[in-house]
């Protein structure tokens, strides 16, 4: 069926990718029904502030709403919040809801995002959190307001590092425990990962690398008290935040027949089946620029992919535009903005082209097989975007270096 005014498009996932997709449907002139289903009870909100301003206590819920409430009504978009889809019947074109209702669709946008990995050791203990939702963030803030001052962060990835920085700024004594010898080495390589690690140390946070959490111990009432580490050391703790990565939220689609392999596997136009597109953290799509399927867990990707997925759904499979981004993400830690453009790999060559390690602010370019692959900005927010075009144009490392030198 064509997506005309009598049709219905269902969006599963009421967060960034789902919001951008739903809005784009209207912007592109779609006049049929748009129904957005979200398992969380809250109106769509933004996650990056959860580890930054919201955790710091400087922003409340009203500052993180993605859209003011009347906007949804203005756009004629039905939001069904606090409701979870439990499956999709691809052939019958129906979404099955928990509770039994079946919602028919003519087009479907899947934007279910990702969910944090948990530590099994934490089962049954109070004071151990992951950070994905505003409810998680509120619970962590409440714990700190109730007097928790000894914070252990498990995992020195971007979210763990931001939590460490924000808790430190709130006056907590913070230890970060990282299993790798160099934090972020698998994303940024050893040299740049090492620099990110030093940032913790320079700001009074203890960073324990090459260290594993062996056990979490609570008191008689089940409150976290100690984190036992490999090597035998143990840390007193009254708050533990676990940041050991996320997994795509696709378990509910296991019986759908859609291909799932670390995400919903999509073609270059973001289709997972005829009339069904995917966007955001859950999407593993064929990036024609890279010549392989990739999945990205960052804000800008979810926002841009939501828009393209909606447009392609309206255009129809085979008539849409391939999604070929220059990926971008940022992280704010201890007042330093870390930004990355492109697809860095740990084995890439790295050249600092602006600023310097001594100044603690620089731009570094990543290169692979003679081509520029990525750019990293460390404390130079105004400078990084100048390198975007070079990545778009697939500049050689030589051209990129010349550009950086202004010649």
Ligand X SMILES: Cc1cc2nc3c(=O)[nH]c(=O)nc-3n(C[C@H](O)[C@H](O)[C@H](O)COP(=O)(O)OP(=O)(O)OC[C@H]3O[C@@H](n4cnc5c(N)ncnc54)[C@H](O)[C@@H]3O)c2cc1C
Decide if residue 17 touches ligand X (CB under 6 A): yes
Backbone angles phi, psi at 300, to 5 degrees: -65, -35
CA separation for the pair 115, 354 (Å, rounded) = 37
C-alpha distances in Å from residue 402, one per residue of 213, 354, 394, 395: 46, 12, 14, 11
Q: Mask 65-104, x = binds ligand X (CB under 6 A)? A: -------------------xx-------------------
Q: In what order do the strands lie in the sheet with 206-208?
A: 128-130, 239-242, 150-154, 173-177, 206-208
* Residue number with CB closer to ligand X (195 or 340): 340
Write down the residue that tokens 């990835």 correspond to.
157
Cβ proximity of 21 and 279 under 8 Å:
yes
Decide if residue 307 touches ligand X (CB under 6 A): no
Q: How far is the CB of 315 from ligand X (least distance, A)?
A: 21
For residue 390, the Cα-to-chain-centroid distance in whole angstroms is: 25
Which residues, including other chains, have CB under 8 Å from residue 116's CB and lie 6 or more apart?
130, 131, 132, 242, 243, 244, 245, 246
Q: How far is the CB of 390 from ligand X (least distance, A)?
A: 21
The token duo for 304 is 């841009």
Decide if residue 263 touches ligand X (CB under 6 A): no
Candidate list 3, 9, 10, 15; residue touching ligand X; CB under 6 A: 15
Candidate list 302, 365, 375, 384; residue touching ligand X; CB under 6 A: 302
> What count of residues does the chain have?
407
* Residue number with CB closer to ligand X (24 or 40): 40
Q: How far is the CB of 30 from ligand X (least distance, A)?
A: 20
Decide if residue 170 touches ligand X (CB under 6 A): no
Scan residues 23-62 and list those touching ligand X (CB under 6 A): 37-40, 47-48, 50-51
Instruction: Please work out the total of residues on this chain that contact ligand X, with binding judged by CB under 6 A.
Output: 36
Decide if residue 184 touches ligand X (CB under 6 A): no
Decide if residue 16 touches ligand X (CB under 6 A): yes
* Residue number with CB closer to ligand X (71 or 84): 84
* Residue number with CB closer to ligand X (226 or 295): 295
Which H/E stretch holds residue 79? strand 77-81
Decide if residue 156 touches ligand X (CB under 6 A): no
* Residue number with CB closer to ligand X (107 or 225): 107
Q: Mask 221-250, x = binds ligand X (CB under 6 A)? A: ----------------------------x-
CA separation for the pair 264, 248 (Å, rounded) = 8
Interacting span for ligand X (CB under 6 A) from 11-19, 25-33, 68-76, 345-353: 11-19
* Residue number with CB closer to ligand X (14 or 364): 14
Decide if residue 164 touches ligand X (CB under 6 A): no
CA separation for the pair 87, 108 (Å, rounded) = 12
The token duo for 132 is 């994905």
Backbone angles phi, psi at 314, to 5 degrees: -70, -35
Angle of helix 16-27 versus helix 299-315 axis, rounded to 10: 40
Scan residues 126-155 and list those touching ligand X (CB under 6 A): 131-132
Write down the residue that tokens 């969380």 correspond to.
40
* Residue number with CB closer to ligand X (49 or 226): 49
Classify 159 in phi/psi space as left (phi over 0), alpha (psi -120 to 50) or beta: alpha
* Residue number with CB closer to ligand X (18 or 229): 18
Q: How far apart are the first and last CA of the chain?
A: 55
Q: Which residues of the shown chain bind ligand X in the complex (CB under 6 A)?
A: 12-18, 37-40, 47-48, 50-51, 84-85, 111-114, 131-132, 159, 249, 252, 280-281, 297-300, 302, 329-331
């Amino acid at each position: 069926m064509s997506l005309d005014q009598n049709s219905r498009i269902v969006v599963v996932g009421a967060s960034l990718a789902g919001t951008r997709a739903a809005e784009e449907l209207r912007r592109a002139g779609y006049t049929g029904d748009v129904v957005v289903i979200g398992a969380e009870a809250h109106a769509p909100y933004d996650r990056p502030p959860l580890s930054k301003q919201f955790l710091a206590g400087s922003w409340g819920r009203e500052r993180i709403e993605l859209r003011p409430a009347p906007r949804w009504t203005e756009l004629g978009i039905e939001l069904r919040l606090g409701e979870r889809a439990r499956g999709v019947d691809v052939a019958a074109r129906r979404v099955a809801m928990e509770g039994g209702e079946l919602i028919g669709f003519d087009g479907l946008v899947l934007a279910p995002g990702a969910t944090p990995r948990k530590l099994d050791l934490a089962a049954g203990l109070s004071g151990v959190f992951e950070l994905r939702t505003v409810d998680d963030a509120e619970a962590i803030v409440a714990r700190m307001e109730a007097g928790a001052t000894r914070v252990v962060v498990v995992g020195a990835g971007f979210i763990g590092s931001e939590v460490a920085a924000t808790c430190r700024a709130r006056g907590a004594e913070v230890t970060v425990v990282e299993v790798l010898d160099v934090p972020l080495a698998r994303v940024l390589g050893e040299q740049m990962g090492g620099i990110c690690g030093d940032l913790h140390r320079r700001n009074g946070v203890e960073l324990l690398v090459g260290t594993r959490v062996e056990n979490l111990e609570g008191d008689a009432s089940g409150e976290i008290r100690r984190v036992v580490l490999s090597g035998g050391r143990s840390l007193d703790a009254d708050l533990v935040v676990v940041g050991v990565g996320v997994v795509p939220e696709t378990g509910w689609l296991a019986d759908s027949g859609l291909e799932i392999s670390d995400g919903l596997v999509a073609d270059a136009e973001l289709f997972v089946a005829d009339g069904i597109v995917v966007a955001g953290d859950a999407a593993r799509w064929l990036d024609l620029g890279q010549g392989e399927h990739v999945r990205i867990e960052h804000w800008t990707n979810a926002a841009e992919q939501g828009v393209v997925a909606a447009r392609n759904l309206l255009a129809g499979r085979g008539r849409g535009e391939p999604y070929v981004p220059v990926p971008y993400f940022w992280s704010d830690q201890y007042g330093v903005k870390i930004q990355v453009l492109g697809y860095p790999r740990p084995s890439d060559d790295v050249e600092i082209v602006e600023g310097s390690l001594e100044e603690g602010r620089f731009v570094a370019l990543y290169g692979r097989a003679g081509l520029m692959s990525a750019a990293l900005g460390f404390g130079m927010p105004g400078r990084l975007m100048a390198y975007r075009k070079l990545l778009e144009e697939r500049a050689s490392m030589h051209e990129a270096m010349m550009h950086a030198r202004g010649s």
